Amino acid sequence: MLSYFPKYIANKAVTFYLVALILVSVLFFNNAMSLVWMVFGLVEVVAFFYVSNRLTRNWINYSPRYFEKKVFFTALVIRVVYVLFSYLFYTFMTGQPFEYGTADSLKYHEQALWIRELLLGGDIQAFIDYMDGGYSDMGYPFSLGVQYVVTFGSILVARLVKAALSAYMCLLIYRLAKRNFGEYVGRMAAVFALVMPHFIYYCGLHLKETEMIFLSVWFLERMDFAIRTKHLSFKLLLLPVFLLVSLFFLRTVLGVTAIFAVGTAILFSEAKVLNKHKRMILLLWGTSAVLVFVGGSISTEVEEVWQKSGRDAQKQNMEWRSQREGGNQFAKYADAAVFAPLIFTIPFPTMVHVDYQENQMMVNGNNYVKNILSFFVILAFYLIIKRKLWRKHTLLIAYILTYLGILAFSSFAQSERFHLPALPIALIFAAYGISEMTNQHKKLFNYWTLFILIAIIGWSWFKLAGRGLV
């Protein structure tokens, strides 16, 4: 069993990234990515793989308590530095501290300023009327508005809060992974989360992804503890209930996924994990949660989620994407038949210049890291099924498969933002897959990097050809 992230993988991953970058730039020279996005991607990839190798080796002998301190404060420093950098970078490049082509970020900011004025004026009823029974997507601007009351509407402080939440999320991943797969896997997963470019990047944006990730992981960690503890009580379930409700106020599908994952764990977890007494308590808790939602506004939103998903809805959205101004005419051919087999791996990085896709080019390294790690996620699932261990980890398996399954049939299957709630759990499985890697698996990994290289070149052609640029 490997207790650290091997340098072999780091070298291979970085090498193939450089090869992909050079090949794409040469093959599509007229549409080559600008140097600034190449630098961003290179830093993202090199930092993740080599820092992961170094930290998993150097921190292996720390006590659990000291390890947690190192993880939290290192993650916090990295995120605070990036928040300050991104604030200045966006201000210099766009004229305001928001990402390129900002829409949602600016909307959330303006909503939060309005809510701040309502709170200061004692007129919260106006916000309730504005929600009009719709809960999803309302939690974030409200929480941001509450922060603005205290911080006088500071954008920078709000992002520093995100940095703190993201840093603590790394500890939650450590505890969750350790409880499921042991100390070494827990430490590797925590280090992955610490340096994962996606998590760092979203701390610098006025979007709700950081909060969603944090609450999702916290919910799973607390529910996993409740399932495995010897002394379960209803009091212990109060925090998970609060976290579950919070998820519905951020994105309805996360609440649905969480309930389904818990239900699956209650029904299928092995007796060593969940005895009859605890199973009965959790069953009562789960039944009560469902009954609360049934017939209410949240139930209506859940129904709308299902209505808007599925192959027909996805097909309509892809058709719209192919016909809109600046859209890709090939998008209409993409549906669940394409997305579902690749759902653990996509999205592929944008390594060519496409107008108005600065954000996608900026995170090209982020997506490449996910592409590489997906091999070990798939390997972990293979080993768990082969060794008949799935009933030990039912909660995590049900959560990630349910969420990605819904995503595969949605219109957001290729959007990296919408993959983020599943990413922390994917990192846990990736760490487990790496820890169990053999020489035979190394050979398969070599083929995987070649597949990713070919996929990136194909994706680059797709993006350009669909817009008539090649």
Residues 294-306 have pLDDT tens digits of 544 444 545 455 5
CB neighbourhood size of 58 (10 A): 12
Does the structure show a pLDDT above 60 at 314? Answer: no
- Using alpha carbons only, what angle is made at residue 31 by residues 20 and 342, rounded to the nearest 5 degrees? 45
Contacts of residue 429, Cβ cutoff 8 Å, sequence gap at least 6: 376, 377, 380, 381, 396, 400
Q: How far apart are CA 342 and CA 366, in angstroms?
A: 17
- pLDDT at site 183: 97
Interval 190-233: pLDDT, tens: 999 999 999 999 999 999 999 999 999 999 999 999 888 887 77
The structure tokens 């994962």 sit at 196
The pair of three-digit structure tokens given for residue 37, joined into one six-digit string: 């996005």
Per-residue pLDDT band for 404 (boundaries 50, 70, 90) equals very high
In angstroms, the Cα distances linking 53 to 10, 226, 289, 428, 445 are 7, 33, 42, 16, 17
Using CA atoms, how far residue 311 sits from 334, 400, 413, in Å, is: 10, 20, 12
- Mean pLDDT of the region 271-285: 72
Ranking 57-66, 81-90, 116-125, 452-461 by mean pLDDT, the lowest is 116-125
What are the sequence ranges of the domains in the chain? 7-97+154-465
Which residue is associated with the tokens 């709000």?
A: 158
- Report helix, strand or coil for 413: coil
Q: pLDDT, tens digit, for every residue of 431-447?
A: 999 999 999 999 999 99
Mean pLDDT of 369-380: 98
CA distance 181 to 190: 13
Query: pLDDT grade, residue 320 (50/70/90)?
Result: very low
Q: Which residue has the tokens 């983020």?
A: 420
- The stretch 167-194 carries a mean pLDDT of 98
Three-state SS for 290-331 is HHHHCCCHHHHHHHHHHHHCCHHHHHHHHHHHHHCCCCCHHH
Question: Over the range 182-196, which residues count as b (16 or more CB within 10 Å of their CB) and which as e?
Answer: eebbbbbbbbbbbbb
For residues 366 and 44, the answer to whether their CB atoms sit within 8 Å is: yes
What pLDDT, on the 0 to 100 scale, is given for residue 191? Answer: 98
